[in-house]
Chain A
Amino acid sequence: MSFPWAQHYEPKNPVMKWVDERLPLPRLIFSAVGAGYPVPRNLNWFWNFGVLAGLALASQIITGIVLAMHYAANGAIAFDSVEHIMRDVNYGWLLRYAHANGASMFLAVVYIHIGRGLFYGSYKAPREMVWLLGVVIFLLMMATAFMGYVLPWGQMSFWGAQVITGFFSAIPIVGDPIRIWLLGGYAPDDAALNRFFSLHYLLPFVIAGVIVLHIWALHIHGSNNPTGVEVKDEQDTVPFHPYYTAKDGFGVGIFLLIFATFVFFQPNLLGHPDNYIPANPLSTPAHIVPEWYFLPFYAILKSFTFDFLWIPAKLWGVLAMFGSILLLFFLPWLDTSPVRSAKYRPTYRVFLGILLIDVLVLGYVGGAEPIARNVILGQIATAYYFAHFLVILPIVSATERPRPLPNSITEAVLKGETGSAGDTAFPERALPAE
């Protein structure tokens, strides 16, 4: 793995030398996230978000483990045990607000991370496996976030669980038995709450395991970069440490500033007031809405309101919602363009821009009241979402004429084509001698 010019680990400290000869863990770390990992020199700030996602997961695991020491997964006292954490546990409010807002921060960072991959073509050969594992992580995160939201056993927890597990009842014939089996009852209750807690504790460690595979797969071919041109020689790269550890340090600072603003000053902004009302199976909230990070998918679900081809609208909605995520698995083969970076793909980047707006519209519709105007807006946006990935992308990638690529990363850097800027086509002329 890695490039021939990667530095080799030579321990100076006798203790490290002793350890390294018996268990080459220092060597592994040195080559993975130390000076032994050469990284393209032109990565822009969007490449900070992988590290930030890892940091968010670590924060969630630490706060979550402590919260689990005080939480009781029982329908009769779950809500009260959360209030006990908020009021009686030392700095329990800090732990819980950090955990609740940490989930939002994690998802936000991961969405930007995914968007980075889409724009710069990081999913393309030879990095398909990095992308596939990333989609697996995303699915696991969604499951974990959903089950975590159920645990406080407020109104939105209960009714959210009711709605989400209700998806399974859309499956013909076996749907209802599956739903009852998943819940351990006819409606969400102790059985469901307990298994959600158990799985909510398990899945983050599964995520951590898949992240190890994700990083392993990444290190086989090294990071992509804003030009999408592969590394050619040593001057295209810098050692990860100290260059990107320093750059990530600043990114971490900005991330923590935003995180702390939510935790200390607006801890309930991203939540829903109804979840401070204890779960009541006899009283349905006026509007059941998921957390913000699920809203685009919720909008897709709600857009199918017509029994097309005698298939019930609900089944269409559920298929489309799952399909909208699962199609990401096929992205490396839907996009056949040999050029990775959208900087050099004038047509694709326009459609990618429309997709960004489209997902924002879906997010708005997902949280808005289902009046006719919003439903229609959601249906148009849903149509574009599927059209983008399954129709437009395969056609554009086959017909588009990309702009000329730079010969190397270094050439692009010396021409001042840094990662984030770059509207100008790269002029095809010889470089002045440095």
Chain B
Amino acid sequence: MVRAISFVIGFGFIIAVVAALFASLSSLGGETKETAQEALYKHPKELELASNGLFGKFNMQQVQRGFQVYQQVCSNCHSLTHVAFRDLRKIGYSEAEVKKIASDWQLKAQTLDTKTGDRGERPNTPADKFPTVYYPGQGNPPDLSLITKARHDGPAYVHSLLTGYRDMTAAEMKRFPEAKTPDGAYFNPYFPNLNIAMPPPLSEGAITYADGTKSTVEQNAKDVAAFLVWAAEPELAERHWIGMIVMGFLLVATVLAYGAYRNIWRDMKH
């Protein structure tokens, strides 16, 4: 009885899925033309950063340079809402420097007088988070606090995207006339749909690094990627360090546990 019912149900599902299989097989023949996205999209280039790998930690000088790039370029359009000014202490700025960075920040903290209902502004303090940027223009600049975790290969993606702007070649335009970059967008093969609303943000020498490093687009892109890794995972170095200690402890404990197991079972064939 059980067997009869199971055969009926089993064959029911099998016939239904085999019917679907025939439907998919019969629709196979149709030639599918490669789309511009499939042909031109590129995965991010490898990026060497101190924070990569199992033992990765931050190169604080590079993270500070990256912060300068964020401060002078990215912050015009992109928020960093999960990071507070006080967090900059952790990348090596002194208390006084953090205070100054906060109070000099162009976008002020919003205030609301709960008595009068008046809205106003005041300078930022170290306790404030980076103020939210409201962007009225075309496009939707994402918040950058988590960008390296919110994209596959995050840091490499940031670096490749920032350095990947180019024009479509004549050959590409001829092959994919429908993929012409629309007005107000910029061609970038590292962006999933190839056309990004963000104009190329970096230019040679636009930033003067406080530590005297030569400022190139390549250098800016690398540094800001390093900074954004820190912004997304400020605990990264501590996590790796604690992880090492935990693994060491567990290895010793596991070896001891194995010894205990061998010892207890030594006279018991099993």
Interface size on A, as a range, is: 35 or more
A28–chain B nearest beta-carbon distance, Å: 24
Contacts A273-B154, A320-B13, A390-B7; A308 near B257 (Cβ below 8 A): no
* B16: nearest chain-A partner, CB-CB: A308
Whether B239 pairs with A274 at a CB distance below 8 angstroms is no
- Does B112 have its Cβ within 8 Å of any Cβ on chain A? no
Q: Please give, as numbers and ranges, the residues of chain A lying within 8 Å of B145 by CB-CB distance.
A: 83
Which of A172-180, A190-198, A248-256, A338-346 lies on the face that meets chain B?
A248-256
Q: Would you list which residues of chain A between 248 and 276 have a CB under 8 Å from chain B?
A: 249-250, 252-254, 256-257, 260-261, 263-265, 267-268, 273-274, 276
Q: Is the interface of A mostly helix, strand, loop or mixed?
A: helix
Which of A264, A286, A330 counts the most B-chain CB atoms under 10 A from its CB?
A264
Contacts A305-B24, A379-B17; A260 near B10 (Cβ below 8 A): no
B5–chain A nearest beta-carbon distance, Å: 9
Contacts A274-B150, A386-B13, A391-B11; A263 near B243 (Cβ below 8 A): yes
Contacts A276-B149, A304-B16; A260 near B243 (Cβ below 8 A): yes
Whether B243 pairs with A264 at a CB distance below 8 angstroms is yes
Which of A11-19, A63-71, A239-247 lies on the face that meets chain B?
A239-247
Q: Is the interface of B mostly helix, strand, loop or mixed?
A: helix
**Once bound together, how far apart are the Cα atoms of A383 and B9, in whole Å?**
12
Contact of A308 among B9, B11, B20, B232 (CB under 8 A): B20
- Does A333 have its Cβ within 8 Å of any Cβ on chain B? yes
- Does A382 have its Cβ within 8 Å of any Cβ on chain B? yes
* B252: nearest chain-A partner, CB-CB: A253
Mark interface residues in A383-411 (1 if CB within 8 Å of B CB, else 0).
10011011100100000000000000000
Contact of A372 among B22, B24, B87 (CB under 8 A): B24
Whether A306 pairs with B20 at a CB distance below 8 angstroms is yes
Q: Would you list which residues of chain B between 235 and 266 have a CB under 8 Å from chain A?
A: 235, 239-240, 242-244, 246-247, 250-251, 253-254, 257-258, 260-261, 263-265
Q: Please give, as numbers and ranges, the residues of chain A lying within 8 Å of B10 by CB-CB distance.
A: 386-387, 389-391
Interface size on B, residues (CB 8 A): 58
- Does B185 have its Cβ within 8 Å of any Cβ on chain A? no
B81–chain A nearest beta-carbon distance, Å: 8
Whether B257 pairs with A246 at a CB distance below 8 angstroms is yes
**Once bound together, how far apart are the Cα atoms of A333 and B28, in whole Å?**
40
Contact of A323 among B9, B239, B258, B260 (CB under 8 A): B9
Whether B17 pairs with A383 at a CB distance below 8 angstroms is yes
Whether B270 pairs with A41 at a CB distance below 8 angstroms is yes
Contact of B54 among A265, A268, A306 (CB under 8 A): A265
- Does B269 have its Cβ within 8 Å of any Cβ on chain A? yes
* B265: nearest chain-A partner, CB-CB: A243
The 4 A-B residue pairs with the shortest CB-CB distance, nearest first, are A264-B243, A390-B10, A253-B254, A306-B20
Interchain Cβ contacts under 8 Å between A and B, 12 examples: A87-B82, A94-B242, A250-B261, A252-B257, A254-B254, A264-B242, A265-B54, A265-B243, A304-B20, A308-B20, A319-B13, A372-B24
